[in-house]
Structure 1
């Protein structure tokens, strides 16, 4: 009987080992584009066309993933980053996104850039249940988990920024007369709505002129002339880098000297202020949530030293004056964090679950700014600080504040 009992126990032990092994295997769950050694991510970016100034974001993201891969990848898996040019054209974005999802079989689309372009694939991505993660646009609609559970933004929403600009005007400008230039799509309209929401009953009195432009327009000169002629003493500029640089040049050419408020998506020393002219850009006010690489104070920090060392090794052709290269560095780290949290459960469902479970700070964020998400909060960043370009760099003119 003793022998029989030992035999029974041995069988039970073998069975337990088998169950444990089966459980370990079962813990690995992969979506499309994932293997034991790699993770395939897709991206669309305007490397050509009217928004080509943003192309460096895609290049800096790729450079950060090169660093991650050289250091062993994410949980032993390298990141295969497939970034396609869509020229900031919605029809092209549709074509390229379908290719990434249906032919290249990527796990997800990461950091697709632009409001009109992401809007063109918004329904498609949610219908296909493919994560559309950390889109490079602050349109408010990217934070709607109830209706679009597969889409999440990253940067502060445009309406949030618009409200913060409204607060700045109310606190700092006496008898404001506001002239607005905005891109005629959800991106531009969100900024305008945020401003008007904050101004409340004063909006109709203080806003004296609104001019829009289409992304296909060659210039915005006529709009700037009309805004100056309206008598505005505040210029609220909501435009992408190409048109922001044009606006700065035209405002100075007309010898118009309003309080110049420039949206953060065009608040780049390298991509906007340098081509427009540092002298012409002096005095422009914007909002920021990450550190300015042109600031001497920033350049004394350990965070800057790490960022610059990464730039020199992995993106030597990149411009260290260009804040978009800080942006790419930060958002790529956010994506890596999500993949690390997902572990071996790299299904599309679990990746979205982990994207909605973030609480992190990153080097090169401004002190006080962090990333926080939940199942009901798809707005990762909600704090910003007012800054002003002094002719050489961006300098703080206030504290980090929240629109909430």
Structure 2
């Protein structure tokens, strides 16, 4: 009987062990996740996103981890410099041996490592960019962007302009990389055959340029009465300030990456930003409308305990919170099959996932042929203090 029991136990243990599958970066006790962040450099305003994500993982680990495993989020500063991103991502994959990369911040940094990560078959999960190349499963199956498509967002602005300002003379300020170029292409697609006549000037800038004053002057001198800024926080704030200094009063639209109250509007002067137009897909946790919202309450409790120095009202911290929440959802779905292939499988099979801070009516669904995580948006306008909603939820196709 003793021999039979021992044999049965051995078979059971062997079977249980066989059910667990691990790739580098995963074990019975740990899941290693890697990330590069702009803790310094021209896009350092985004650093708070990574701080919120690290704090979220601390909360999850305090609660026992994911399926009993602690999440080890390894973060390295790349200063928003693509060559540094390459160096640090290689370190994460080849030295730290992470299971996946998560939320590498920025379009250019993600471009720099996309081919490498795909060649290594390491998930480039929820890249912090909306450029089209990060939702292209045919050519880059191991890459998934998180942000709404810049092309779609640009098209939404184009359609909004046609509907609301059909006689506008448009000046476009755009970052000279995939971010800016995708927005410009989307805007032109939304304007359709009227794009050539309505866009009176385009002016690009490099992320490393100290100011964009000359670009703003060029657009003003071209006679533009509607300014579209396809930019990041530093340059967006500079544009708002310069427009005010010039006494210029165009309709001003900024992309979702640059509509942060903390990182853009406050440095620019909220009084200068009044009337600004953009889009959104998350709740404002300080908005009176959501004071009894369970998702908002969980977020505020999290911030108070795990990131007390962070700005509760910052949409960057909200962004960090929801992206971390989604990563945990994917890891939970992986169960004991913590292989890179299964991580990708679970991330590309999300079914109407609800995150606590998404706007009511917005959920997340993906498929092996549709890697787009966020496909719904809402137009918003700044009233001098807070962002206010304009209209209803807009789909990825640009229809309400």
5+ residue gaps, structure 2, are: none
Which residue of 1 is the match for residue 354 of structure 2? 361
So what's the TM-score if we normalise by structure 2?
0.96
Distance 2:192 2:314 in 1: 35
Which residue of 2 is the match for residue 100 of structure 1? 92
2:393 to 375, 378, 400: 400
Report the CA distance between 1:19 and its aligned residue.
Answer: 4.6
Report the CA distance between 1:146 and its aligned residue.
Answer: 1.3
2:140 to 141, 148, 153: 148
Report the CA distance between 1:15 and its aligned residue.
Answer: 7.1
Does residue 252 (structure 1) correspond to residue 240 (structure 2)? The answer is: no
Distance 1:103-1:10 versus aligned 2 partners, 3 A rule? closer
Mapping of residues 108-147 of structure 1, within 5 Å: 108-147=100-139
Report the CA distance between 1:293 and its aligned residue.
Answer: 2.8
Which residue of 1 is the match for residue 189 of structure 2? 197
Question: Runs ≥4 in structure 1, deviation > 4 angstroms?
Answer: 9-20
5+ residue gaps, structure 1, are: 1-8
Report the CA distance between 1:298 and its aligned residue.
Answer: 2.8
Which residue of 1 is the match for residue 29 of structure 2? 37
Mapping of residues 370-385 of structure 1, within 5 Å: 370-385=363-378
Does residue 311 (structure 1) correspond to residue 273 (structure 2)? The answer is: no
1:337 to 326, 329, 342: 329
Report the CA distance between 1:197 and its aligned residue.
Answer: 1.1
Which residue of 2 is the match for residue 61 of structure 1? 53
Distance 1:71 1:56 in 2: 23
SS in 2 for 1:152: strand
CA RMSD of aligned residues (A): 1.6
SS in 2 for 1:385: strand
Deviation string 1:133-158 (CA, Å, 9 cap, x unpaired) is 00001001111111111100112110
Distance 1:13 1:294 in 2: 61
Report the CA distance between 1:21 and its aligned residue.
Answer: 3.7
Rg larger for:
1
Distance 1:239-1:73 versus aligned 2 partners, 3 A rule? same
Which residue of 2 is the match for residue 273 of structure 1? 265
Distance 2:129 2:203 in 1: 21
Distance 2:238 2:172 in 1: 15
